[in-house]
Amino acid sequence: MTMTCSYAGCTAETTGRCVLGNDPANCPQRDGAPGEETVVVVDDRDVTAEVEAQEVEAPASEIAAPVLEAPIRDFFRLALGGQLGLRAIQRIGSDRPLRMIGILGPPNSGKTAILVSLFLLLSKHKLARIRFRNSDSLFALNDLSRGARDWDADGKRLATITDHTSLDDPRRPGFLHFRVRAEKLGKAVDLVFPDLPGEWSDNLIDKGYDAHLDFMKSARALWVFVDGSALIDPVRRQNAVDRTRKLLGRIASCIPLPADAPILVVVTRRDEMDEVPEDQLELIMDEAKRRKLPVEIILVASVSNREGIENGHGIEELLEASLVIPAEKLNDEAVALPSAPTPSRQMLRYRSVAR
């Protein structure tokens, strides 16, 4: 049987040569190699969180490795650069430390928009302390940014920034990858974000936990989205707060995160607020305290129509708050510690009591 390899871009099956420089017979990327069946998300403390692998077919977006001899192809396939499945995340994680930032939130709360905004900000070097290094989802991010605007016939921007997220397989998550250099960490870090439809969060709230959310337990930080425009709407705000509180309850009972994994409640559409709805935010914080969750609220605007609120408002702070420096490395002189927040930045952030 022909030896096959699951590493994107490797032609070992036809050339016998491993692009990673390994002995093809013993390369861990080789299909059938030991340990392939667990998803290992490794952070820079070498603490592994093993997630039980799911017996699934490789999705169409991944390069499928044939298991039988195949004719020699005339063309070499490049890595697709699209959304990544769990197997692709596994491959990245086996090669270098990886941090997953979990994302939950109802439909139309701005989950995808923030990732698109992050990508475009990086593409224009608009972030002061975070720099792009690479992405294995380059084309997926480009596609999302191109499909990012809905306009009416008069050319006026509609409320929906990005197309509604849907998955090729409605039960399997797709991930977006960023490799960035963060001043806070003093080095580059690989981040993956699940791009999930809001219905997954609705189902979590309404129907309870489902095993296909197991990957969330490996998250090194968790973003819980709230549509900020709902919090300032008298008709919608009570339901928005209620749903968020229930979601925090599900997280507390069903998604045991690492002790130092921050939970960020991301309140979107900051530009639509004349005043920050502090009373509504307090209700959310009260629930976080009751659940003993280490929650911080950050207000963001993926795109802004308001003077004084810039496009991407709060995104850099959100990302930095998600990058936790391991305790044993806080004495490392090479690690830059965050500066004390300025008064204006304090308005962005509300912090509950830590665990």
Partner 1 sequence: MTAVVDRSVVLIGGHDTGKSNYLARLWLALRKGDGILSVQDDPENIEYVKSLIRSLQSGQYAARTSQDDHPRLFEGVVQAQSGTAGEQDVQIVVPDVYGELWEKASEQREISNEWLERVRKASGALLFVRLGSSHHIELIDWITSPALMGAPMAPHLAQKGTPTQIFLTDMVNFLDTNLGLDTTLPPRLSIVVAAWDLLPPEQKDDRPRDFLAANYPLLDGRLDNSRRLSVNVFATSITGGDLATQQHRDFFLQSSADKEGFVVYNDAKGNRREVRDLTVPVAWAIGIELPETD
For binding to partner 1 (CB under 8 A), which residues are involved?
9, 11, 17, 19, 73-81, 116-117, 120-126, 131-135, 138-139, 142, 145-146, 148-149, 151, 155, 157, 179, 181, 188, 302-305, 311-312
Q: Of 66 and 341, which CB lies nearer to partner 1 in the complex structure?
A: 66
Alpha-carbon distance 213 to 200, whole Å? 9
CB of residue 310 to partner 1, shortest distance in Å: 8
Q: Of 137 and 322, which CB lies nearer to partner 1 in the complex structure?
A: 137
CB of residue 317 to partner 1, shortest distance in Å: 17
CB of residue 328 to partner 1, shortest distance in Å: 26
Contact (Cβ atoms closer than 8 angstroms) between residue 240 and residue 276: no
Tokens of 144: 């999302």
Q: What is the DSSP string of 174-239?
A: -EEEEEEEETTTTEEEEEEEE---HHHHHHHHHH---GGGGGGGG-SEEEEEE-HHHHT-TTTHHH
Q: Please give the single-letter amino acid code of residue 256.
A: P
> How many other β-carbons are positioned within 10 Å of the β-carbon of residue 328?
8
Q: Of 156 and 207, which CB lies nearer to partner 1 in the complex structure?
A: 156
Q: Of 111 and 217, which CB lies nearer to partner 1 in the complex structure?
A: 111
DSSP symbol at 30: B
CB of residue 57 to partner 1, shortest distance in Å: 20
Calculate the alpha carbon distances from 89 to 180, 264, 305 in Å: 16, 23, 36
Tokens of 298: 């950050």
Tokens of 261: 């994994």
Alpha-carbon distance 223 to 238, whole Å? 21
Q: Of 76 and 340, which CB lies nearer to partner 1 in the complex structure?
A: 76
Q: Of 11 and 22, which CB lies nearer to partner 1 in the complex structure?
A: 11
Q: Of 77 and 164, which CB lies nearer to partner 1 in the complex structure?
A: 77
CB of residue 181 to partner 1, shortest distance in Å: 7
CB of residue 151 to partner 1, shortest distance in Å: 5
Calculate the alpha carbon distances from 333 to 12, 91, 184, 185 in Å: 42, 31, 12, 11
Q: Of 10 and 263, which CB lies nearer to partner 1 in the complex structure?
A: 10
CB of residue 23 to partner 1, shortest distance in Å: 15
Alpha-carbon distance 174 to 211, whole Å? 16
Tokens of 98: 């990886």
CB of residue 192 to partner 1, shortest distance in Å: 16
∠ CA(23), CA(28), CA(30), 5° rounding?
80
